[in-house]
Amino acid sequence: MTAALELKDVTKAYRQGDNRLEVLRGVNLVIQPGEVIALVAPSGAGKTTLLQIAGLLDRPDSGDVLLGGDAVGKLDDASRSRKRRGSLGFIFQFHHLLPEFTALENVIVPQTIAGLSKGEAKSRGQELLAMLGLADRMSHKPSALSGGEQQRVAIARALANAPKVVLADEPTGNLDHATAIAVTERLLQLSHGAGVGMLVATHNPELAGMMDRTVRMEDGILVNG
Ligand SMILES: Nc1ncnc2c1ncn2[C@@H]1O[C@H](COP(=O)(O)OP(=O)(O)OP(=O)(O)O)[C@@H](O)[C@H]1O
Ligand SMILES: [Mg+2]
C-alpha cells in the first residue's frame, strides 16, 4: 500500500541571533491511509514545526516529504500550493477563521477555491458541521461562536475538500473534556471510513490513547511511544 504521507530524514533548524536551534534532526514517519497517529511531545519540542513541513507550509532544510508516494520537497511553490489544496487538510493550533463569514461559509470557501460547485460544497459543509455538533450554528459568524465551536468549524473546514491527509495541531485543545473525546471519535471515524491519514499533535494522553498509534518527539527525532 502506498503511504498517505511519508517523512524521510527531515531536518530543520532555526537561527536565533548567533544560536542555531536544531528542532528536527532526522524525522522519519510513515502515515498509512486510514491511520490516525498521535504526535506527543512537550511544548517547544517541534510539533508545529513538523506539522507545517508535513503540510507543505514550510520546507525542510534537508530530507523530503512524500505525498501519496510523490516527493514534493523540491517542487516550486505553486505546485506545492496545488498539492496542499488538493490533498491536505490542516487544523491549526489557532483556528484562523475568516471573521466576516458565517460558520458554513468558512467551511465552503476552500472547497469552492478547489473548484467544487457551490451546491456540492454547501451540502458537504452542512454534513460536516452537523457531524461536529454544529447543525444549529451554521449561520453564526466566528464572533458569535464559543472558542470550542470555532475550533470545530476549523475542523470541518480542514475536512471539507476530502483530503487524503489531515495534519492537526492540538485540534481539541480548546474543547472541554467530553467534546474533545467526541470530536476525536469523529476524526477517527472519518479517517477509518474514508481512508484519510491523520497526524494529530496532542498534549492529552487519554486522546492519544484513542488513536491508532503514538509517536513521541525526543531530541528532534520520532520514537514509537
Ligand atoms: N520561526 C521561528 N524562528 C525561530 N525559532 C522558532 C521559530 N518557530 C519555532 N521556533 C522555535 O522552535 C522550537 C519548536 O517550536 P514549535 O512551535 O514547533 O514547538 P511545539 O512543539 O509546537 O510547541 P507547543 O506545544 O508549545 O505548541 C521552539 O523552541 C520555538 O521557540
Ligand atoms: Mg505548537
Examine the pLDDT at 179 and tell me if it is beyond 90.
no
* Burial annotation 194-224 (CB, 10 A radius, 16+ → b, else e): eebbbbbbbebeebbebbbebbbbeebbbee
Instruction: Provide the percentage of residues in the chain whose pLDDT is more than 90.
Output: 76
Amino acid at 41: A
Q: Is residue 126 part of a domain?
A: yes
Q: Is residue 19 part of a domain?
A: no
Q: What is the mean pLDDT of the chain?
A: 93
Tens of pLDDT, residues 35-94: 999 999 999 999 999 999 999 999 999 999 999 999 997 889 999 988 988 899 999 877
The total number of structural domains in the chain stands at: 1
CATH of the domain at 135: 3.40.50.300
Residue 52, domain extent: 30-60+74-224
- Of all protein residues, the one whose alpha carbon is nearest to atom 26 of ligand 1 is 43
For residues 197-225, average pLDDT: 96
CA 183 to chain centre: 14
- Of all protein residues, the one whose alpha carbon is nearest to atom 2 of ligand 1 is 14
Q: Is residue 172 part of a domain?
A: yes
Atom of ligand 1 nearest to the CA of 16: 4
Instruction: Considering every ligand atom shown, identify the ligand nearest to the alpha carbon of residue 42 and give its number.
Output: 1
Q: Is residue 195 part of a domain?
A: yes
